[in-house]
Amino acid sequence: MPYEVLARKWRPQSFEDMVGQAHVLRTLVNGLNNDRLHHAYLFTGMRGVGKTTLARILAKCLNCETGVTAQPCGKCVTCEGIASGNYIDLIEVDAASKTGIDDTRDMLDNAQYAPALGRFKIYLIDEVHQLSGHSFNALLKTLEEPPAHVKFLLATTDPKKVPVTVLSRCLQFNLKSLSIDLVIKQLEHILQEENIKYEDDALFQIARASEGSMRDALSLLDQAISYGQEQILNQDMSEMLDSVPKEHFSDLIKAISTTDASQALSVVNTMHEHSINFNQLLDDLISILHHATVVQMVPSTINEFNYEKELIELLNANIKIETLHLYYQIAIQGRREVSLAVDAKSGFEMLLLKMLYFIPFDDVNAVNTEKNTSAGTASKKDDNQVLSNEVASQMPLKGLNTANDWKKLVPNLKLNGIALALADNSSFIKCGEQVLAIAIDESHESIATEKAKTALCDSIKKYFKRDMQLTVETTNSENHMHVTRRQLKDNQDAKQQYEAEKSVNRDILGQELKEKFGAEVIPGSIKPVK
């Protein structure tokens, strides 16, 4: 028996066989059961999601010898004829090849004659958007006053190109592209029936590459079966689809989520040795950053990403949403940069390093905690780990560059007592590789005791998880170079007070009160609205 391609062999023959599209099926089944039939149906959706398949099943439902039904028998002459593409009253037209007015006119002229065998004469027009303007007019005429025995089933991937006048005369159904999980389930079902061995990850790769189209997935499955000689292995699929093996990708995501630059570079080297396609890798990275962001915003969506669940959870446990957005931007823009680089590998490396360099201030703490706990459990650190820590300790602290950064940092240090007083009254000078310098006004010098300095320094070391020195300089009050955190707050209050008094003085009622009654604004009595 000649080999029959899977897409044809496994084409659904009834509504129950259809994968996904529950929303469309329900409407169709209810319409059929309640005898509410429309004369024109339009199925829209991307390629390979089941538009014409659904139309053919509907044709069976309408013409089955057992009567109009949502469960055609599948055995009568009509059902078998439609299944084998051999039924006189189902006229299938591919609008992509027959776009001319003559073709359409010939076809529609025959519409007036009664069906030869069935209840209805059914026109199935695929890719209907490709009909010419004249053809659409001819079709519209028939749609406006259709003979009772005619049904139109139209399918298109591009409903925007179908004239509104035609659209408005059709019952429209939008078929969704299929989720990875749905595709995998169907592939598993087919392979079990066909008695072919497979690895789960291999099916994931096929499903992902098919981008929601069942027809594409089945074509790839055909290809995979001959590639792997009756078995479907993950390794084979990586080669066939030129995709990134899951284990390498997992390693990369781990390195990114722990901001481990040295590990990230080593993964990239391994991938390069395995001739990984870095453009594909970048696409995968963009896609998982997108999914992780979606899940972080709407946690219930995690179930939509079953096969990436672990990696998404890893990313989300370590990386905050703002950083994910940043990484996503870097990755998207990286597409261009990777293509401009000397070679794709170095382009990709630069992109990774950019991500890991721009890790925002708040994440330093979370990530460092993570690193410390993992270092604590590991019996020995490898050289790379030590190296990367050394590199990290020589870099200036990210996010602590200005007085404002210092102001934001202090509440996070969990200080109390004298250390808090010192931090509150001191101003930021600079933060270098090992030393953080702050200043205190000489009027507050007494706060800067050794005990306070040690306590503050300990908190800072604890916060940044690295060894730091703290120096406290004394300045005199005429030196306005540095502003303390308290002064910043006081300044803000004073500014608000000034604005409030100014607005009362400007106020017309205030002016009148002053002029007519000699009223005066008592300084300080006006409170700004906070």
72 touches Zn ion (CB under 5 A): yes
CB of 253 to Zn ion, least distance (A): 52
CB of 75 to Zn ion, least distance (A): 6
Q: Smaller CB distance to Zn ion: residue 118 or 245?
A: 118
Only segment of 79-87, 305-313, 356-364, 376-384 that touches Zn ion (CB under 5 A) = 79-87
Q: Which of 133, 137, 141, 80 is nearest to 111 (CA)?
A: 141
**Where is 249: in which H helix or E strand?**
helix 246-257
Only segment of 68-76, 81-89, 115-123, 468-476 that touches Zn ion (CB under 5 A) = 68-76
CB of 176 to Zn ion, least distance (A): 28
64 touches Zn ion (CB under 5 A): yes
CB of 110 to Zn ion, least distance (A): 24
Q: Which residues in 370-409 contact Zn ion (CB under 5 A)? A: none
470 touches Zn ion (CB under 5 A): no
Only segment of 63-71, 110-118, 398-406, 474-482 that touches Zn ion (CB under 5 A) = 63-71
Residue 368 in tokens: 């460092």
CB of 61 to Zn ion, least distance (A): 9
Cβ neighbours, 10 Å, residue 369: 12
Cβ neighbours, 10 Å, residue 246: 19
| CA–CA separation, 354 and 346 (whole Å) | 12
Only segment of 59-67, 139-147, 337-345, 372-380 that touches Zn ion (CB under 5 A) = 59-67
Angstrom distances, CA of residue 142 to CA of 115, 130, 260, 502: 16, 18, 67, 76
59 touches Zn ion (CB under 5 A): no
In terms of DSSP bridges, do strands 121-126 and 40-44 run parallel, antiparallel, or are they unpaired?
Answer: unpaired
Q: Smaller CB distance to Zn ion: residue 54 or 447?
A: 54
CB of 277 to Zn ion, least distance (A): 49
Please select the residue that binds Zn ion; options are 68, 76, 111, 483, rule is CB under 5 A. 76
79 touches Zn ion (CB under 5 A): yes
The 3-state DSSP class for residue 81 equals helix
228 touches Zn ion (CB under 5 A): no
Q: Smaller CB distance to Zn ion: residue 79 or 218?
A: 79
CB of 116 to Zn ion, least distance (A): 16
265 touches Zn ion (CB under 5 A): no
Q: Smaller CB distance to Zn ion: residue 64 or 420?
A: 64
Please select the residue that binds Zn ion; options are 73, 108, 167, 265, rule is CB under 5 A. 73
Residue 480 in tokens: 């306005």
68 touches Zn ion (CB under 5 A): no
Only segment of 78-86, 213-221, 396-404, 470-478 that touches Zn ion (CB under 5 A) = 78-86
CB of 29 to Zn ion, least distance (A): 16
Size of the site for Zn ion (CB under 5 A): 5
CB of 190 to Zn ion, least distance (A): 25
Specify the amino acid at residue 499.
Answer: E
Residue 361 in tokens: 């201030």
Q: Which of 266, 241, 258, 408 is nearest to 318 (CA)?
A: 258
CB of 78 to Zn ion, least distance (A): 5
Only segment of 70-78, 209-217, 338-346, 494-502 that touches Zn ion (CB under 5 A) = 70-78
Q: Smaller CB distance to Zn ion: residue 61 or 128?
A: 61
Compute, in degrees rounded to 10, the torsion defined by CA atoms 286, 291, 296, 300: 180
Residue 85 in tokens: 């593409």
- 488-494 long-range contacts, CB within 8 A, separation 24+: 488/403, 488/407
The secondary structure of 293-351 as a DSSP string is: HHHHHSGGGGGGGGGGHHHHHHHHHHS-HHHHHHHHHHHHHHHHHHHHSSSHHHHHHHH
Q: Smaller CB distance to Zn ion: residue 68 or 350?
A: 68
The 3-state DSSP class for residue 179 equals coil
The secondary structure of 393-457 as a DSSP string is: HHSPPTT--SHHHHHHHGGGG---HHHHHHHHHEEEEEE-SSEEEEEEEGGGGGG--HHHHHHHH
Q: Smaller CB distance to Zn ion: residue 60 or 407?
A: 60
Q: Smaller CB distance to Zn ion: residue 119 or 248?
A: 119
CB of 57 to Zn ion, least distance (A): 11
The 3-state DSSP class for residue 265 equals helix
Residues that bind Zn ion (CB under 5 A): 64, 72-73, 76, 79
